[in-house]
């Protein structure tokens, strides 16, 4: 399983996910992959009841998690028992199958207390 | 740069329509040309706004098809795609072409035929404009982005579900007065929020947003005729000038914004439009905002500069944005009630403003409106256009 990586600008240190070709902060073009922190904080979320095609479940939990370095990422949530500000852990997993291809992305789980 | 005026406008009724896309675009175009009392030989060029006929209707090259259907040959014709802001982008192209002196008279038509496919397909079609790796693959939809945004905004500024419902109530009430609106039915706070059956009548779409927080999926088209202002007096109506235009972009993935609540592109587009017009938000008498979701009308009213940040819901509460308020917003019913055929919306906003500024918005006329503002919101705020229109 691939680990979860952010892209850090070698010039100014700002971190992005997903990657960019040119740094939004300084215009730098060199990035290095860095590991996301172990835990992030759930900034906001939604329980989606009207899903696009190809999803078999009736609802889908989605959220934005903020990690160290101010890096944020959107992903699926493993449970609907969540609240804003909750600590979450990220895993890299299959998030959707599109045109017969399995697509990998982030799934967030509540961090164990 | 030459001044540009709008000398003709027309639209189809929005809603579920039997006609195909070309028929809808033709109907709106003919209405706009009739309104301008012009013949087809005088059209120098056409721009057609459409987001996805290639996906929804097996039809590409829409402008080439329309220019032929209307026998405007050999006028140059281009299709403009900028997501749900395609309409304003097409008008911008016409505006620039006339302002530059290249053309004198340009027809702009925007249309979409969305109900040709299922709800799941249309949801996916609209979602496909989100960031591929950062949003789309997760099953993110536009309502999902709006839901996450609303939850944050509501927590920060004390906005309640009742405030969101107030946008729906107001715009549905206005929609009843607009014969072109998709939904011509008023709703009540009790019916969509407080009665036990509200959970059935108004189910969650993307929590905390419910069905009545989201615009319907519509078919329809709208069209305008733009002309060099120096020739506008040759046409039958009160001259309405395109006084200001602005456009700005923002990060594709919403979570990459420094402050995900800050809709910078709305502010940037609005400020540029006001600057070009030499007007301020307080000079505006009527506004059409892109309320694809109720929360967006509130936030755009702040970012456009009409109210302070975090104060849009307070103005709403006081009735400032009602038809009889100090700054009526979405007298047409907005996307919420007029409907949102994505390619048509930006054009329909301008059509409504022209009717308001001419004094032709029967049943929903804002008294003596001289300056109007509209905002067409592409993606989840990553590509936004604004216009200021002024009556001569
Ligand atoms: Zn940088």
**Could you report the per-residue pLDDT of B63-108, keeping only the tens digit for each?**
999 999 999 999 999 999 999 999 999 999 999 999 999 999 999 9
pLDDT over threshold 60, residue A1? no
For residue B324, tell me if it sits in a domain: no
Look at domain A5-110 and name its CATH class: mainly beta
For residue B16, tell me if it sits in a domain: yes
Instruction: Report the number of distinct structural domains present in chain B.
Output: 1
What CATH number does residue B82 fall under? 3.40.47.10
What average pLDDT is seen over chain B?
97
Count contacts between A and B (CB, < 8 Å). 107
> What residue ranges in chain B does DSSP mark as E strands?
4-11, 45-49, 77-80, 105-113, 204-206, 209-210, 219-228, 240-249, 286-288, 371-378, 383-391
Contacting residues of A for B256, CB less than 8 Å apart = 16-17, 24, 72
Contacting residues of B for A64, CB less than 8 Å apart = 148, 254-255, 260
- For ligand 1, the distance from its centroid to the CA atom of residue B272, given in whole angstroms, is 27
Contacting residues of B for A50, CB less than 8 Å apart = 119, 123, 141, 143, 205-206
**CA B124/CA B144 separation, integer angstroms:** 12
The proportion of chain A whose per-residue pLDDT surpasses 90, expressed as a percent, equals 75
| CB–CB contact B206 A46 (8 Å) | yes
Contacting residues of A for B255, CB less than 8 Å apart = 43, 64, 72-74
- For ligand 1, the distance from its centroid to the CA atom of residue A30, given in whole angstroms, is 8
Q: Distance of CA B254 to CAs A13, A49, A94, B236, Å?
A: 20, 20, 22, 45
pLDDT over threshold 80, residue B377? yes
| CB–CB contact A98 B155 (8 Å) | no
For residue B316, tell me if it sits in a domain: no
User: Phi, psi at residue B350, to the nearest 5°?
Assistant: -70, -40
Measure A35 CA to nearest chain B CA, in Å: 17
Q: What is the mean pLDDT of residues B197-206?
A: 93
- For ligand 1, the distance from its centroid to the CA atom of residue A27, given in whole angstroms, is 6
| CB–CB contact A54 B251 (8 Å) | no
- For ligand 1, the distance from its centroid to the CA atom of residue A29, given in whole angstroms, is 8
**Verdict on whether the full-model pTM lies above 0.90:** yes
Span A53-104, pLDDT tens digits: 788 899 999 999 999 878 899 999 999 999 999 999 999 999 999 889 999 9
pLDDT over threshold 80, residue A111? yes
For residue B66, tell me if it sits in a domain: yes
For residue B228, tell me if it sits in a domain: yes
Measure A50 CA to nearest chain B CA, in Å: 5
- State the DSSP string of B262-282: --HHHHHHHHHHHHHHT--GG
| CA-based nearest residue in chain B for residue A98 | B137
| CB–CB contact A49 B207 (8 Å) | yes
pLDDT band at A2 (very low <50, low <70, confident <90, very high): low
Chain centre to alpha carbon of residue B169: 19
| CA-based nearest residue in chain B for residue A15 | B256
Could you tell me the residue range of the domain that residue B13 belongs to?
4-118+219-234
């Amino acid at each position: 399983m691939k680990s979860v990586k952010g892209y850090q600008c070698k010039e100014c240190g700002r971190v992005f996910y997903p990657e960019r070709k040119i740094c939004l902060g300084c215009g730098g073009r060199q990035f290095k992959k860095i590991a996301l922190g172990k835990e992030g904080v759930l900034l906001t979320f939604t329980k989606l009841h009207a899903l696009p095609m190809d999803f078999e479940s009736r609802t889908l939990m989605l959220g934005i998690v903020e990690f160290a370095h101010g890096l944020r990422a959107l992903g699926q949530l493993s449970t609907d028992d969540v609240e804003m500000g909750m600590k979450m852990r990220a895993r890299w997993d299959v998030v959707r199958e599109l045109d017969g291809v399995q697509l990998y992305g982030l799934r967030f789980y509540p961090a164990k207390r | 740069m030459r001044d540009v005026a709008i000398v003709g406008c027309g639209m189809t009724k929005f809603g579920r329509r039997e006609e195909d896309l070309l028929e809808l675009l033709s109907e709106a175009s003919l209405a706009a040309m009739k309104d301008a009392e012009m013949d087809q030989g005088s059209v120098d060029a056409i721009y057609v706004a459409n987001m996805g006929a290639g996906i929804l209707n097996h039809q590409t090259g829409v402008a080439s098809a329309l220019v032929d259907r209307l026998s405007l040959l050999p006028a140059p014709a281009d299709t403009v795609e900028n997501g749900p802001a395609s309409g304003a982008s097409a008008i911008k192209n016409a505006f620039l072409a006339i302002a530059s002196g290249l053309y004198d008279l340009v027809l702009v038509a925007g249309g979409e035929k969305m109900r040709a496919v299922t709800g799941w397909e249309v949801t996916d079609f609209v979602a496909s404009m989100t960031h591929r790796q950062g949003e789309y693959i997760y099953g993110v939809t536009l309502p999902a982005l709006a839901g996450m945004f609303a939850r944050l905004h509501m927590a920060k500024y004390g906005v309640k579900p009742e405030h969101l419902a107030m946008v729906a109530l107001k715009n549905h009430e206005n929609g009843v007065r607009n014969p072109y609106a998709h939904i011509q039915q008023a709703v009540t706070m009790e019916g969509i929020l407080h009665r036990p059956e509200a959970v059935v009548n108004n189910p969650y779409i993307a929590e905390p947003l419910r069905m009545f927080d989201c615009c319907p999926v519509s078919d329809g088209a709208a069209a305008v005729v733009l002309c060099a202002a120096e020739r506008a007096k040759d046409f039958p109506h009160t001259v309405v000038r395109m006084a200001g235009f602005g456009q700005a972009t923002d990060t594709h993935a919403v979570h990459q914004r420094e402050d995900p609540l800050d809709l910078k592109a709305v502010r940037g587009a609005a400020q540029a439009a006001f600057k070009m017009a030499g007007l301020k938000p307080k000079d505006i008498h009527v506004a059409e905002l892109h309320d694809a979701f109720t929360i967006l009308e509130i936030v755009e009213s702040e970012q456009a500069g009409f109210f302070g940040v975090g104060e849009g819901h307070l103005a709403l509460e006081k009735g400032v944005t009602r038809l009889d308020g100090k700054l009526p917003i979405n007298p047409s019913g907005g996307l919420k009630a007029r409907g949102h055929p994505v390619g048509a919306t930006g054009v329909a906003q301008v059509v409504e403003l022209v009717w308001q500024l001419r004094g032709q918005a029967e049943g929903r006329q804002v008294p003596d409106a001289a300056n109007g503002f509209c905002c067409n919101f592409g993606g989840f705020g990553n590509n936004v256009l604004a216009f200021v229109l002024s009556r001569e």
